[in-house]
């Protein structure tokens, strides 16, 4: 994407939202060999997509952590130059297939919403999807923890404000429906969480 269309961000990495979290491509200010963030690629015309080697949430978090290290090392220090960073990932999203270490849920142990019909084909599909969905949520939570740990290790945490939000929910069998295709509360509900580690915080991420 042309720099004038990047929302004013100094450094920008876009990813291919292709509903394939194990086959994700990025382009922009990114090292095409490592897939990691590179601080200075101003004017570089090479925006060839690079395939991330692993699960989307893990690898995009790696890039964010690289970015935080670069900002902490900048001359003058982050206390003098507050910054704003955005980490946007697709999971939890279908297809619900998280990294192996987070797959501890099974469709047999899932507790359904009261409005999920007791119909075998519906509960079988909802249970299978929710097992993967919960695994993706736990993976996302793990990666948020990685970002918080990085901020703490870089002595940035107490001056940081973290805003976490989602764009929609999922039916997961409620009313016999799946995905976000119906405007019920389950699919349109959004989550928003603001975490401040110090008052007043400096806006950084």
Q: What pLDDT score was predicted for residue 47? A: 53
From first to last of its 205 residues, what are the pLDDT tens digits of the chain? 566 777 777 777 887 778 888 988 887 766 555 555 554 444 454 556 778 889 999 999 998 998 888 888 764 555 567 788 889 898 888 899 999 999 999 988 889 999 999 999 999 999 999 999 999 999 999 999 999 999 999 988 888 888 888 878 888 889 999 988 788 888 887 655 555 544 443 334 3
Looking at residue 58, what is its pLDDT? Answer: 95
Which pair of tokens denotes residue 35? Answer: 């897939």
Q: What is the pTM of this model?
A: 0.80
Q: Can you give the pLDDT at residue 41?
A: 46
The token pair that represents 83 in the structure block:
């910054």
Please report the DSSP string for 109-163 in residue order: TPPPPTTS---HHHHHHHHHHHHHHHHHHHHHHHHHHHHHHHHHHTT-GGG-EEE
Residue with token string 């929609």 = 168
The predicted pLDDT at position 48 comes to 61
The pLDDT assigned to 199 comes to 40
Phi, psi of 35 (to 5 degrees): 80, 5
The pLDDT score that the predictor gives to residue 201 is 37
List domains and CATH numbers for the chain.
Answer: 3-196 (3.40.720.10)
């Amino acid at each position: 994407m042309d720099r004038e269309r990047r929302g004013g961000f100094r450094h920008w990495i876009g990813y291919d939202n292709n509903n394939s979290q194990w086959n994700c491509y990025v382009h922009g200010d990114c090292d095409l060999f490592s897939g990691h963030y590179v601080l200075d690629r101003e004017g570089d015309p090479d925006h060839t997509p690079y395939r991330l080697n692993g699960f989307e949430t893990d690898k995009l978090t790696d890039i964010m952590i690289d970015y935080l290290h670069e900002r902490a090392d900048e001359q003058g220090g982050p206390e003098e130059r507050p910054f704003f960073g955005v980490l946007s990932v697709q999971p939890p999203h279908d297809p619900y297939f998280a990294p192996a270490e987070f797959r501890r849920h099974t469709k047999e142990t899932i507790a359904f919403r009261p409005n999920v019909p007791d119909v075998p084909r519906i509960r079988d599909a909802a249970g299978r999807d929710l097992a993967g969905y919960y695994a993706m949520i736990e993976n996302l939570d793990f990666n948020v923890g990685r970002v918080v740990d990085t901020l703490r290790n870089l002595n940035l945490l107490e001056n940081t404000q973290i805003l976490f939000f989602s764009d929609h929910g999922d039916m997961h069998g409620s009313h016999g429906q799946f995905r976000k295709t119906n405007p019920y509360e389950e699919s349109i509900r959004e989550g928003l969480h603001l975490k401040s580690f110090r008052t007043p915080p400096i806006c950084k991420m």
